[in-house]
Structure 1
Amino acid sequence: MVIIRANTETGGLAVRCNEKDRRLLLLFKQGVIDPANRLFSWTSEEEDCCSWIGVQCDNITGRVTELDLAGQLLQGDINLCLVLQLEFLNYLDLHHNEFVTVSIPPCQPSRSSSDDQSANLSAALRYLDFSSNYDLPINDLRWLSGLSSLNYLDLNDCDIENETKWLEFVSMLPSLSELHLRSCGLRDFPRISYVNFTSLSTLDLSFNLLNSELPYSLFNLTNDISVLDLSHNGFYGKVPMALFKLPKLKQLSLSFNSIKGSIPDSIGQHEQLQHLFLRENSFNGSIPPSLGGKSLQSLKGVLSEKNFANLSNLTSLYLSSSGFKFHIDPNWVPPFQLEYFELRNTSLGPTIPAWLYTQRSLRWLDISGSGISTIDDTDMFWSFVARIDNVNLSYNLMSGDISPLTLNSTSINLEYNSFTGGLPHISSNVVNFWASHNSFSGSIFPLLCHSKIISREKYSLATLDLSYNHLGGTLPNCWAKYWEQLIYLDLGSNKLTGEVPPSIASLNFLAYLDLSSNNFLGKFSLDLSNWKNLQYLLLEGNKFSGILPTLPQNLVVIKLRANQFTGNIPTHLCNLSSLAILDLADNTLSGSIPSCLNNIMHPINASLWLKVIKLSAKGRELDYKDVELLRLIDLSANNFSGEIPKELFSLIQMWSLNLSRNHLRGKIPREIGGMKNLESFDLSCNKLSGEIPPAISNLSFLDYLNLSYNNFVGQIPLGTQIQSFDSWSFVGNLGLCGDPLPKRCNKKEETNNSNQAEVNEDDFFFKSLYLGMGVGFAAGFWGVCGSLFLIRAWRHKFFRWFNRLMDRLYVAGVLCFKSLC
């Protein structure tokens, strides 16, 4: 039924949605979890479903034709049994959500035949996208056969590992032109005798587990294929000759496999081939002269202008980490205009090749780590760079003063060079600026707050990394006005001083803040509780004082060591459930260690910044990158007192625990044995006493142990793990004895300790044995006696036997007595 209503704005008639379609959408919503309330307009009170978010209808019939709920953070169930009953639905897009289940047709209770699979499905559907619902399980694809008009299918990142007949079912779609099955857990390419797609032009099977030789049948699927992506699989062997029978092939990606052999010369004879990705394989030999490619890697040989003479249509060139040597005429003018040029980790240098300046269409330039040390014409080079959106010049040997320059590129990376002088200016177009590990000096005020540079009210800058330079002075107080969009700010390892300006607290989007290894001072009194996105807070190596600041909830890494913070550990720190690294060492904090710290270090559910950070563990400072795998607490070199809370040892994922150089008393809790992942454990220079618990021998991964300079007594627990440490791990404990210390224990101590170790070691076994014996005795006793009491025939037989036995014993006794008399 179609409802027509008057449209007062236009004076005409407007069509409201079909009642059946409206009912189906409301039923579909019942299975959806909507934590962000994105479907607030989907209510029974609003009769016109054509006005609902994500719904589009035909202007004449009022039937629902499109359902687009992409990126709405929806969870729960995709009920295909309902959605596909929208008879005129031709577009369904549910990608980039968090759905966890799919209700798969048939929609009727009956499932007697395969024909029922397609019952009541929308024959009009042309576009279907479930991608980026990560690991969404779809174990049956037979329902696809009913979608006869489907020409676009995207199941990227869904889990269809258990559907072994996926190729058979998708081949039943006569109109299918694009099929995207990236990262779907596919294993082994199906072995079927014949499959022929009549319209397929794009096939993406990348990031799967198709561990086999490249199957010849793969290249016989269709003659219309133009884009074929087989990268990031386990394909091996040689490139099959069947590949060259695809006349319309424009783009082929075989990257990140194990394909070997030489590149056939005939691959360059494809008239339509425009883009070829072969990186990270085991190809050898030289480049075929006929090849017009996009990405060539893992090859060796000499490249000259002859290799590019016929590539007039070349737009992208990737030769990173290759073994090529360049012998190119300095006066060569290429026949192409590149948009993307990447030569990372090559021997391009020591100078910028002159032919590169002829590329006026470049949008991406990456010549990092390519040995560039000399720029012949600096004005020409930087004018050339200014026209490129993304520029990466890092890990070279470039030098000089570039402070007069104004950089315009959207993203520019100058890291790990030898630039000197003041910082260059950056325009309002810059989104990402990396300039760490150089020799820039002076103030950062001109870069951030110079009135001649700032051309609009707010910058779009998201990333600013100026770490490991020689920048000095104080931080300007212009953050609130211009830089509120910052996500990543790293000013660590410079010579900055003074107090942190209050306007930094306005950086509400910040996820990474590093002010470490400077000369900042004063109270760090900023309220950071509104920084909902902050994951890294690195303030170590300064002179901050006062109590610890109020911290946001999503922190993963806190490094405040080597400052002058005072007071107790605030209890709100125990609410940081995602915290993986807590480093408060080398301050003057006092009081007891809160027992509620066992509430931290839950599994991390955050998008961590993949950056190397320094951590003090195992008695030295090392660089670590995989922070999501580490759990560390370092409270060393403070004034903490009291006992070590036993709750702390319930953090079984702990990797490193350092409580050294404090005033802690009491014993090591026996719960220490449960920290199976502990690799570094330091309690040195405290006032701990008692015996070292034998359970410490259970820490099989322990690589560093320091219990020195306490008041421990008794024999060091026996066990190969403990005896493997040097004696310095236990020195300064006058009451300790036994290996690895030179002091021998007397027999009493050895016996007591040995007995205690044996008792602890065998305690569980004997308890179990005695318990089993007791239960067995009770079961046997009541099994026999219960039978006698409950079964009359058994009871009569038992007493008759017992009476006869007593009579015989009486007669034998009388006879024995008479014989003695």
Structure 2
Amino acid sequence: MHSRSERMMIIWSSCLIFSLSFVFASPLAKHLCRPDQRDALWEFKSEFHFSGMAPNEKTQTWMINNTDCCVWDGVSCDLNTGNVVGLNLWGSSLNGSLRSDSGLFKLQHLQNLNLSSNNLAGILPDSIGNLKRLRVLKLYECNFFGKIPSSIGNLSYLTHLDLEGNGFTGELPESMGKLNKLTKILLSTSKLSGNFHHALLNLSELTWFDLRSNHLEGKLPSNMSSLSKLEHFDIGSNSFSGSIPPSLFMIPSLILLNLEKNSFTGPLEIQNISSSSSSPSRLDTLNLGGNNLNGPIPGFISKLVRLSYLDLSLWNTGKATVDFSIFSRLESLVVLDLSYLNTSSLLEVNLFSKLDSLAVLDLSGNSLKISWSLHLPSPMGSLSLASCNISEFPNFLKTQTDLYYLDISANRIGGKVPDWLWRLPGLVYVDISKNSLSGFDGPKDVIQMSQIEMLDISSNSFQDPFPLLPNSTRFFAAPDNQFSGEIPTTICELVSLDTLLLSNNRFIGSIPRCFKSLLTLLHLRNNSLSGNFPEESISVGLVSLDVGRNRLSGELPRSLINCTRLEFLNVEDNMFNDTFPFWLRLLPDLQFLVLRSNNFHGPIYSLGGGSPSFPKLRIFDISKNIFTGVLPLDYFADWSAMSSGVYTTDNKPERFMGFSFSNYHKAVVLAIKGSEMELLGNGFRMYKTIDVSGNRLEGDIPRSIGLLKGLIVLNMSNNAFTGRIPQSISNLTNLQSLDLSENRLSGNIPPELGKLSFLSLMNFSNNMLEGPIPQGTQIQSQNSSSFAENPGLCGAPLQETCGGGEEVDEVKEENDQVLSWIAVAIAYVPGVLCGLTIGHILTSYKHDWFKRIIHSFA
């Protein structure tokens, strides 16, 4: 008999043998990956190049000596068939376009595909529609462009489609309406255009629909409630118009509705919103801000008791009254934006004192009533009270210990800033601009002891002493004040400083030599700074530099060549004495170059390097210098940004953490018909201008100017240009201002200029032009001074009519005929003599000549 231990050993051995035999007999013991699937993956990988640096390059694990592709990183297989059913190469540094014959499309059993966050720059091929078993397709942030292929409608099993963050253009393919299993569509942050296809209403299973930040337009369908399972609907930052369909609010499952920053109009009339405890609306986020809505604010909003986020900003009530009490019933509110409602009602801020969860409140642009004893909820983190006609710092701010963002700009607050403000422990962002403040209460270092990161004190009456700022400061704006003396070197100790705006003060002396390399915006415009611009004061990270209207001299600092992110450079109205900075063309993002009113001299083209190529330039102003020479005919050939259509803006200021940069970011002075116009903020960005006036340029105006079809302003006056006005200027169909005065131009004004319908300001005076002034509404509406001092010009609006033109032409024609006959007569006598001579020669040699002819034919 076996002992107990021997019996146990036999049992365990038997179990082990059985288990091993099962393992080796099962599919898991084999290489799961089918050879054709492995080969397709290898082929797909070979189509791309890799940086070899990213830690998450999943294809690095695809080793040739491991033939089981089912264990490769990012690959998943069907355990029974060995087919690849999932491929997740998110952020795997794939570089190269996705080919229409890619090995990817041989993986016909794919159900889940994620190639997001790779550089697949190119068109998404139609072949994507061949992967007919796909359920999840994620291709966000891949740099795709072109149209979304209509073949995507073949993916009938698709439930999740994510293409956001690409450059897709054109309309949404109508075939998407066939994807009736879709639950999520994510197409935000692209360049899609066109209307909202009615076919999309067939997607009855849809729960998530995100089309924000595109160029879509038109009206929404009236029967939006067809999307009966919709929970998240976001079409913010588009150009949709018309009224908001009431049916949207009838979708019982809806949780988020974002329609902000469109062009929706009209009053909003919604009925039958349930407020019962048994079936209240599920709506948590409602964003209607930044539209053109008007009429009364609907009372149904008070029934949306689950709202935590509500934005009704820029609603135009037409100065009507508003019942603000409807908002006090929304006790779950965390974010409330009621800014700029255009109402005559006085808003009593104590209405919000019972909203215990309120963390973000924006009441800007309304008239407020703030009681001295007011207490708002302590969780308040962000408070905006700009343009509210406030005359003092509200007392309730003292208790807001969690406040990190405060905007009380554009009010009537005078005197000094109270020292208790800087003792609020969480305060990080403060905007007290556009008031009448003159100084700071408390000790000299009262601000320095705070945790402030962004401080805007611009457009006040602050005087010395200049405030000491904390080391945490990243953004400091103090333009339009009365600070004087030298710029304090204490600024140089701010190691985190990113933005410094000190324009329009009274600073003197030189620019400090200690600015840190982190600066991206440096604006010192309109002070009395002097001396050379120190090379070491140029931060390599600069995006915008404005030192215009000072007394700076010497040469432009060559260290600017290291600022590869530079977009804006303005040094106008100084005493710089330098040649044209050809080296700036090496800056890939330069859009605004203003050298106006200095002592720059010499040619503006390089004999060795040719014409400067500024592909992104929008504004080129080198006026009032001493530039000389002849411009090559192709001078403007490579200025591609000006060759495209006009830049348009939605007139909504750029914002960073709530701060508006519309008045600080950039300023440009344009010369239009002899007068100067200063453009601030986003306003000037729609302009594409060239101003070379007030120099000594000569020769022909380059014909390549006609390539710049986006030009709004062209000023080439007060030079020594000769020759004719190029007919190619008639291609500049967006041109609004044209000044060619005070040159030596000759010939006619091209008749085609009369067809430029936007050309409202023009000046051809003081040249040598001749002939009739072209007919056209815009030209004929000009003052006669626009054509003065051209002795040969005639026709309206000049008093010199061209009515005698036919007689003059007839006299000229007669004179021309006389001259022609005289020429004939003069040529006649020698002609006769010459003829007689030739006749004699032909007669003398006639016999031999005939012989030669006959011989040649023989």
Among 481, 498, 504, which residue is 1:438 paired with?
481
What is the Cα deviation at residue 584 of structure 1?
A: 1.2
Is residue 521 from structure 1 mapped to residue 560 from structure 2 by the alignment?
Answer: no
TM-score by length of 1: 0.74
Among 598, 603, 607, which residue is 1:563 paired with?
598
**Partner Cα separation in structure 2 for residue 92 and residue 246 of structure 1:** 40
What is the Cα deviation at residue 676 of structure 1?
A: 3.6
Q: Is the 8 A contact 2:132 2:155 kept in 1?
A: no
Q: Give the structure 1 partner of residue 855 of structure 2.
A: none
Is residue 325 from structure 1 mapped to residue 368 from structure 2 by the alignment?
Answer: yes
Q: Give the structure 1 partner of residue 382 of structure 2.
A: 340
Q: Give the structure 2 partner of residue 597 of structure 1.
A: 635
**Partner Cα separation in structure 1 for residue 261 and residue 103 of structure 2:** 31
Q: Give the structure 2 partner of residue 545 of structure 1.
A: 577
The more displaced of 425-434 and 563-572 is 425-434
Letter in 2 for 1:464: L
Q: Is the 8 A contact 1:265 1:291 kept in 2?
A: no
Q: Is the 8 A contact 2:358 2:379 kept in 1?
A: yes
Letter in 2 for 1:431: R
Q: Is the 8 A contact 1:95 1:129 kept in 2?
A: no
**Partner Cα separation in structure 2 for residue 83 and residue 145 of structure 1:** 25
What is the Cα deviation at residue 587 of structure 1?
A: 1.2
TM-score by length of 2: 0.71
Q: Is the 8 A contact 1:545 1:565 kept in 2?
A: yes
Among 184, 208, 212, which residue is 1:182 paired with?
212
Q: Give the structure 1 partner of residue 520 of structure 2.
A: 487
The more displaced of 227-236 and 260-269 is 260-269
**Partner Cα separation in structure 2 for residue 487 and residue 532 of structure 1:** 11
Report Cα offsets for 1:263-317 as digits up to 9, x if no partner. Answer: 5666446553322222233455311254335122424423335512421221121
Letter in 1 for 2:669: K
The more displaced of 205-214 and 336-345 is 205-214
Q: Is the 8 A contact 2:670 2:676 kept in 1?
A: yes
Q: Give the structure 2 partner of residue 472 of structure 1.
A: 508
Q: Give the structure 2 partner of residue 380 of structure 1.
A: 420
Letter in 2 for 1:287: F
State the SS of the aligned residue for 2:600: strand
What is the Cα deviation at residue 574 of structure 1?
A: 2.5
Letter in 1 for 2:523: D
Among 352, 360, 364, which residue is 2:405 paired with?
364
What is the Cα deviation at residue 395 of structure 1?
A: 1.7
RMSD of equivalent CA atoms: 4.6
- CA 1:319–1:40: 2 relative to 1, 3 Å: same
**Partner Cα separation in structure 2 for residue 51 and residue 442 of structure 1:** 71
**Partner Cα separation in structure 2 for residue 19 and residue 709 of structure 1:** 82
Report Cα offsets for 1:194-244 as digits up to 9, x if no partner. Answer: 6543xx654434345665655554345444x44333434537431333264
Q: Is the 8 A contact 2:730 2:756 kept in 1?
A: yes
- CA 1:73–1:583: 2 relative to 1, 3 Å: farther
Correspondences of 1:144-293 after superposition (within 5 Å): 144-145=179-180, 153-157=185-189, 159=192, 161=195, 163-169=197-203, 171-172=204-205, 178-183=208-213, 185=216, 187-189=219-221, 191=223, 196-197=228-229, 201-207=231-237, 214-215=244-245, 217-223=247-253, 225-232=254-261, 234=264, 236-242=267-273, 244=275, 245-257=279-291, 262-263=296-297, 267-268=301-302, 271-282=305-316, 284-288=321-325, 290-292=328-330, 293=333
- CA 1:539–1:607: 2 relative to 1, 3 Å: farther
Q: Give the structure 1 partner of residue 700 of structure 2.
A: 643
Correspondences of 1:441-456 after superposition (within 5 Å): 441-449=484-492, 453-454=493-494
**Partner Cα separation in structure 1 for residue 35 and residue 437 of structure 2:** 69
What is the Cα deviation at residue 67 of structure 1?
A: 3.8
Q: Is the 8 A contact 1:591 1:639 kept in 2?
A: yes
Letter in 1 for 2:314: E
Q: Is the 8 A contact 2:252 2:282 kept in 1?
A: no
**Partner Cα separation in structure 1 for residue 36 and residue 409 of structure 2:** 60
Among 454, 467, 472, which residue is 1:424 paired with?
467
Is residue 68 from structure 1 mapped to residue 68 from structure 2 by the alignment?
Answer: no
- CA 1:719–1:82: 2 relative to 1, 3 Å: closer
Among 131, 135, 156, which residue is 1:107 paired with?
131
**Partner Cα separation in structure 2 for residue 731 and residue 681 of structure 1:** 15
Q: Is the 8 A contact 1:595 1:647 kept in 2?
A: yes
Percent identity (aligned): 27
State the SS of the aligned residue for 2:402: coil
- CA 1:541–1:50: 2 relative to 1, 3 Å: farther
Q: Is the 8 A contact 1:167 1:190 kept in 2?
A: no
State the SS of the aligned residue for 1:521: strand
State the SS of the aligned residue for 1:492: coil
Report Cα offsets for 1:430-459 as digits up to 9, x if no partner. Answer: 22222211112222242432xxx44xxxx3
**Partner Cα separation in structure 1 for residue 402 and residue 409 of structure 2:** 20
**Partner Cα separation in structure 1 for residue 764 and residue 467 of structure 2:** 51
Is residue 510 from structure 1 mapped to residue 542 from structure 2 by the alignment?
Answer: yes
What is the Cα deviation at residue 89 of structure 1?
A: 4.0
Letter in 1 for 2:483: F
Q: Give the structure 1 partner of residue 659 of structure 2.
A: none
Report Cα offsets for 1:614-634 as digits up to 9, x if no partner. Answer: 211222111334445433222
Query: Unaligned 5+ residue runs, structure 1?
Result: 1-12, 757-821
Letter in 2 for 1:274: S
**Partner Cα separation in structure 1 for residue 257 and residue 811 of structure 2:** 69
What is the Cα deviation at residue 708 of structure 1?
A: 2.8
**Partner Cα separation in structure 1 for residue 179 and residue 623 of structure 2:** 60
What is the Cα deviation at residue 585 of structure 1?
A: 1.3
Letter in 2 for 1:337: P
Report Cα offsets for 1:375-433 as digits up to 9, x if no partner. Answer: 4x62112333x742222222222222687543642222222111111432333422222
**Partner Cα separation in structure 2 for residue 586 and residue 60 of structure 1:** 74
The more displaced of 356-365 and 244-253 is 244-253
The more displaced of 709-718 and 656-665 is 709-718
The more displaced of 366-375 and 553-562 is 366-375
Letter in 2 for 1:181: L
Among 433, 443, 461, which residue is 1:394 paired with?
433
Letter in 1 for 2:467: P
**Partner Cα separation in structure 2 for residue 690 and residue 269 of structure 1:** 74
Among 591, 616, 622, which residue is 1:584 paired with?
622
What is the Cα deviation at residue 371 of structure 1?
A: 2.3
Q: Give the structure 2 partner of residue 796 of structure 1.
A: none
Paired residues in the alignment total 709
What is the Cα deviation at residue 664 of structure 1?
A: 3.1
State the SS of the aligned residue for 1:503: helix
**Partner Cα separation in structure 1 for residue 62 and residue 812 of structure 2:** 78
Q: Give the structure 2 partner of residue 535 of structure 1.
A: 567
What is the Cα deviation at residue 607 of structure 1?
A: 12
Q: Is the 8 A contact 2:40 2:107 kept in 1?
A: no
Report Cα offsets for 1:662-719 as digits up to 9, x if no partner. Answer: 2333343444444443333333333344454545444443333333333445554555
**Partner Cα separation in structure 1 for residue 810 and residue 96 of structure 2:** 61
**Partner Cα separation in structure 2 for residue 751 and residue 217 of structure 1:** 74
Q: Is the 8 A contact 1:18 1:63 kept in 2?
A: no
- CA 1:23–1:413: 2 relative to 1, 3 Å: farther
Letter in 2 for 1:460: S
Letter in 2 for 1:365: L
- CA 1:264–1:632: 2 relative to 1, 3 Å: closer
**Partner Cα separation in structure 2 for residue 208 and residue 472 of structure 1:** 47
What is the Cα deviation at residue 547 of structure 1?
A: 1.1
What is the Cα deviation at residue 463 of structure 1?
A: 2.2
Q: Is the 8 A contact 2:517 2:541 kept in 1?
A: yes
- CA 1:156–1:32: 2 relative to 1, 3 Å: farther
Q: Give the structure 2 partner of residue 619 of structure 1.
A: 674
**Partner Cα separation in structure 2 for residue 743 and residue 118 of structure 1:** 73
Q: Give the structure 2 partner of residue 780 of structure 1.
A: none
- CA 1:27–1:142: 2 relative to 1, 3 Å: farther
Q: Is the 8 A contact 1:541 1:561 kept in 2?
A: yes
**Partner Cα separation in structure 2 for residue 143 and residue 135 of structure 1:** 20
State the SS of the aligned residue for 1:357: helix
